[in-house]
């Protein structure tokens, strides 16, 4: 199997496993007769690339993990990601009307409902995480470490903090160090947490977890650099979200600082560094190598 076929196969598997779990959660809320139930089902029913669940699966398996329970843990990470997309698109944040090829949650419902959906998805994700670690029979300390990693990546030192910095930076020209400080937190932290969660669930030793932390940080940043390139070069139809949004929001991006070719080279450099780090740590995983390449070569 070629490397790109390996990434496509893993992403398809992650999508099938995660979508089944998301449908279960959505069905629980869908039974509510009010608009909130419909809005939660709508947000959870959108079709994403499922990169974060694929990383959870790949890191788990790279450390010898084999049980089916990992799908639920991967779903917890994807639900946190889904909440962040719903809130990111709100009028008070990036104010976007399209996501994953469909109108955003606040466009279909309204901003108040979409705000409630986002807030509600956080405890839902933690509930799914608790169910997963219990079903997998993970120890108390492993459960705690997984919850701590995911919450730390989502909080002020991670996604929320990065989003905050990103919003206040609109209209300002940033230098590369500032941009990296924002995106390490805003985008990179959750991708890094996906790697750590998968490794911890498989009982990975500390040196392997350190390698996953470094790999996750590098591909997390590479993911954002590639995202900036796509925002500047792809169409709204290809992306499933509004293209060219960075320019309209006057955001500094890797493309505005380095140009399209410079940003592509930076993404490639970060992915190569991520793969070299895994090799140095003795982690042999074709799946992780293929995902690192996919993250910088993707077209959407």
Among 187, 192, 214, 253, binds ligand GRG (CB under 6 A): 187
Residue 88 in the binding site for ligand GRG (CB under 6 A): yes
The span from the CA of 161 to the CA of 229, in Å, is: 23
Q: What is the 3-state secondary structure (H, E, C) of 171-186?
A: CCCCCHHHHHHHHHHH
The span from the CA of 104 to the CA of 160, in Å, is: 20
Among 159, 179, 197, 243, binds ligand GRG (CB under 6 A): 159
Rounded least distance, CB 187 to ligand GRG, Å = 4
Cα distances (angstroms) measured from residue 143 to each of 65, 129, 135, 137, 147: 15, 9, 11, 9, 6
Of 130-138, 157-165, 168-176, 277-285, the segment contacting ligand GRG by CB under 6 A is 157-165
Among 15, 72, 98, 100, binds ligand GRG (CB under 6 A): 100
The span from the CA of 202 to the CA of 133, in Å, is: 11
Residue closest to ligand GRG (Cβ)? 48
The span from the CA of 189 to the CA of 241, in Å, is: 22
User: Which residue lies nearer to ligand GRG by CB, 92 or 173?
Assistant: 92
The span from the CA of 18 to the CA of 24, in Å, is: 10
Residue 84 in the binding site for ligand GRG (CB under 6 A): yes
Among 75, 104, 105, 163, binds ligand GRG (CB under 6 A): 163
Site mask, ligand GRG, residues 40-79, x = CB under 6 A? --------xx-x----------------------------
Take residue 106 and report the two structure tokens written for it: 């606040």
Whether residue 14 contacts residue 300, with contact meaning beta carbons closer than 8 Å, is answered with: no
User: Which residue lies nearer to ligand GRG by CB, 159 or 229?
Assistant: 159
For binding to ligand GRG (CB under 6 A), which residues are involved? Answer: 48-49, 51, 81, 84-85, 87-88, 93, 100, 159-160, 163-164, 186-187, 227
């Amino acid at each position: 199997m070629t490397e790109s076929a390996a990434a496509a196969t893993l992403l398809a598997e992650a999508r099938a496993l995660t979508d089944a779990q998301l449908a279960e959660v959505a069905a629980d809320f869908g039974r509510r007769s009010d608009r909130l139930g419909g809005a939660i089902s709508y947000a959870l029913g959108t079709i994403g690339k499922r990169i974060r669940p694929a990383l959870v699966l790949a890191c788990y398996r790279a450390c010898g993990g084999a049980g089916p329970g990992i799908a639920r843990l991967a779903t917890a990470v994807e639900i946190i990601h889904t909440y962040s997309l719903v809130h990111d698109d709100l009028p008070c944040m990036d104010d976007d009307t399209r996501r994953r090829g469909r109108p955003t949650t606040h466009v279909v419902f309204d901003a108040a409902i979409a705000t409630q959906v986002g807030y509600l998805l956080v405890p839902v994700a933690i509930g799914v995480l608790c169910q997963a670690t219990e079903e997998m029979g993970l120890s108390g300390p492993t459960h705690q470490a997984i919850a701590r990693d995911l919450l730390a990546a989502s909080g002020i030192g991670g996604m929320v903090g990065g989003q905050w910095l990103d919003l206040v930076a609109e209209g300002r020209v940033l230098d590369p160090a500032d941009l990296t400080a924002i995106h390490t937190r805003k985008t990179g932290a959750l991708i890094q947490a996906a790697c750590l969660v998968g490794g911890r669930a498989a009982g990975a030793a500390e040196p392997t977890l350190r390698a996953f932390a470094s790999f996750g940080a590098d591909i997390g940043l590479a993911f954002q650099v590639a995202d900036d390139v796509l925002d500047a070069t792809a169409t709204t139809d290809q992306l499933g979200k509004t293209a060219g949004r960075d320019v309209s929001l006057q955001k500094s991006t890797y493309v505005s600082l380095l140009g399209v070719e410079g940003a592509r080279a930076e993404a490639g450099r970060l992915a190569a560094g991520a793969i070299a780090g895994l090799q140095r740590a003795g982690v042999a995983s074709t799946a992780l190598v293929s995902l690192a390449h996919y993250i910088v070569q993707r077209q959407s």
